[in-house]
Amino acid sequence: MKIYNTLTRKKEEFVPIEEGKVSMYVCGPTVYNLIHIGNARPMIVFDTVRRYMEYVGYEVRYVSNFTDVDDKIIKAANEEGVTADEIAQRYIKECKKDMKALNVREATKHPLATEEIEGMIEMISTLIEKGYAYNANGTVYFRTRKFEDYGKLSKKNIDDLEAGHRDIKVAGEEDKEDYLDFVLWKPKKEGEPYWESPWSEGRPGWHIECSVMSKKYLGDEIDIHAGGEDLIFPHHENEIAQSEAANGVPFSRYWMHNGFLNIDNKKMSKSLGNFFTVRDISEKYDLQVLRFFMLSAHYRSPINFSAELMEAAKNGLERIVTAVDNLKHLADKLPEREPDDKEKEDLKLVEGLVEKFKKSMEDDFNTADAIAAIFELVKFANINVRETSSKQFAIAVRDTIVTLSDVLGIITEKEQEMLEDEIEKLIEERQAARKEKNFARADEIRALLLEKGIILEDTREGVKWKRA
């Protein structure tokens, strides 16, 4: 199995630290709002990497955090007049709903930054003792220049970075020894959540959070660290510096980064009006279509989101789902008998396509080619599984498509559409809940219907609904 390692800029044979086991850390979202489709890409990509690792027999310990203390969370909390914790917990819950709808498996552990403060204080203290960090009036900075390998992941030259920073003076950073030093701990501001520390009442910097959570749940050295390519610098570069300075061993053997997502060939932004949450997309498409779309390109390539490409993804997914459904119904009618000689030969061709799928995935997780192998299986099934085939043959072909699709996290079973009577009954129950001011139940029913592909619209004339 070959993985493109951002650290070395080349594909390398994957050799885990411990045979048969994989330790993997993926940077998770900052939870101040609903996740957007840019957040969804690394979730889907690295969930698929994990699924394939497990498919070929590795035991994977997969850790993905939630950043639940951050300036954006505090800003959202102040705007609503609630605590930062209330905002974070609300959006962790919503994020997990979206992840479930995207068929992203729960991590082995989803650590929260606020629950790991003790470990952060401990690592910062170690860095101060080793001379890699210093306290300046309650703010603790990392001495970037002291870490000789700084820039090895992003391939940035420290002298170039200095030239870029030379004329930039940031308010409140006058106590820095060097412009390039970054924050490990910062004192509280009025109205902010804070924790006691030897340096000040305050909170950790963003970079130290992931270093500590990775160390606690996976160890000083891990197999794979992953995230979006926007995290290479400064986040992952700083993680390497502080982790390796504190622990004295290489931080991660392999660094994986997914490419950017654009909308109609433009960068996604609220100002351009092309900003979409996963929830927005769920109102138009089953989120399996979004997952299929994301996997239709190589994870390191930039991907362009558009209505046309989503329609193409919807049609492609439908081809696979329909083939599986047809094979199921056909198998129910076919006679029980041993596969004949032709079927045995055909099953060898099926095995060949499985190998093609595996070869694609072993080549730096080329999901686009892996999907092409599944389409070849679908075409094979449509031509070769007939009314004269044996049940065993039809089931073997169907199970192969289902298994490979599952490795990609693609659900192939057709969900039974809700009957109109069921929908109307739930809408009535929701209306009654709203009348009784039981808004939690009303939201629950709306979410349940959305999961089933039913979109509600509250109008003056009453509630209208349509299928996604």
pLDDT band at 167 (very low <50, low <70, confident <90, very high): very low
pLDDT on residue 413: 87
DSSP class of residue 234?
Answer: I
pLDDT on residue 169: 45
Residues 317, 208 share a domain:
no
pLDDT on residue 170: 47
Residues 8, 145 share a domain:
yes
Q: What gap in Å lies between CA 183 and CA 144, rounded to an integer?
A: 10
Out of 314-323, 379-388, 437-446, which region has the weakest mean confidence (pLDDT)?
437-446
Spatial contact of 24 and 224, defined as CB atoms under 8 Å apart: yes
Residue 165 has pLDDT above 60, yes or no: no
pLDDT digits (tens, 9 = 90+) for 30-50: 999 999 999 999 999 999 999
Q: What gap in Å lies between CA 360 and CA 273, rounded to an integer?
A: 37
Residue 342, CB-side half-sphere exposure with 13 Å CA sphere? 6
CATH number at residue 12: 3.40.50.620
Q: What gap in Å lies between CA 69 and CA 84, rounded to an integer?
A: 7
pLDDT digits (tens, 9 = 90+) for 429-465: 998 988 898 988 888 888 888 877 788 888 888 888 8
- Contacts of 153-157 with C-beta under 8 Å, sequence gap 24+, read 153/6, 153/7, 153/232, 153/233, 153/236, 153/237, 153/240, 153/255, 154/232, 154/233, 154/234, 154/236, 154/237, 155/9, 156/233, 156/237
Q: Is residue 462 part of a domain?
A: yes
Structural domain of 356: 308-407
Q: Give the residue from 407, 428, 450 where a domain finishes.
A: 407
pLDDT on residue 89: 97
Residues 146, 36 share a domain:
yes
Q: What gap in Å lies between CA 67 and CA 26, rounded to an integer?
A: 12
Q: Give the residue from 234, 258, 282 where a domain finishes.
A: 258
Q: Is residue 367 part of a domain?
A: yes
Q: Give the residue from 232, 258, 284 where a domain finishes.
A: 258
User: How buried is 282 (Cβ within 10 angstroms: 0-12 exposed, 13-18 middle, 19+ buried)?
Assistant: buried
pLDDT on residue 166: 45
Residue-averaged pLDDT of the chain: 94
Phi/psi class of residue 107: alpha, beta or left (left: φ > 0; alpha: ψ in -120 to 50)? beta
Residues 176, 219 share a domain:
yes
Q: What gap in Å lies between CA 444 and CA 435, rounded to an integer?
A: 15
pLDDT on residue 168: 43
Largest CA distance in the chain: 82
Residues 247, 114 share a domain:
yes
Q: Residue 39 has which token pair? A: 């957040």
Residues 362, 220 share a domain:
no
Residues 104, 156 share a domain:
yes
Residues 314, 213 share a domain:
no
Residues 439, 337 share a domain:
no
Residues 60, 205 share a domain:
yes
**Secondary structure (DSSP) of 166-209:** TT---TT-TT-SSTT-EEEEEE--TT---B--SS-SEEE-HHHH
Residues 90, 44 share a domain:
yes
Residue 194 has pLDDT above 90, yes or no: yes
What's the predicted TM-score (pTM) here?
0.89
Q: Is residue 287 part of a domain?
A: no
pLDDT on residue 159: 81
* Percent of the chain clearing pLDDT 70 (strictly above): 97
Q: Is residue 382 part of a domain?
A: yes
Q: Is residue 123 part of a domain?
A: yes
Task: Name the residue among 183, 164, 160, 162 with its Cα closest to residue 242.
Answer: 183
Q: Is residue 274 part of a domain?
A: no
Q: What gap in Å lies between CA 370 and CA 255, rounded to an integer?
A: 22
Domain count, the chain: 3
Over residues 248-271, the mean pLDDT reads 93
Q: Is residue 8 part of a domain?
A: yes
Q: Is residue 289 part of a domain?
A: no
Q: What gap in Å lies between CA 289 and CA 316, rounded to an integer?
A: 9
Phi/psi class of residue 134: alpha, beta or left (left: φ > 0; alpha: ψ in -120 to 50)? beta
Q: Tell me how far CA of residue 431 lies from CA of 64, 357, 414, 427, 457, in angstroms.
A: 38, 49, 30, 6, 12
Q: What gap in Å lies between CA 463 and CA 429, rounded to an integer?
A: 12
pLDDT digits (tens, 9 = 90+) for 60-91: 999 999 999 999 999 999 999 999 999 999 99
Task: Name the residue among 370, 346, 345 with its Cα closest to residue 356.
Answer: 370
Residues 440, 395 share a domain:
no
CATH number at residue 402: 1.20.120.640
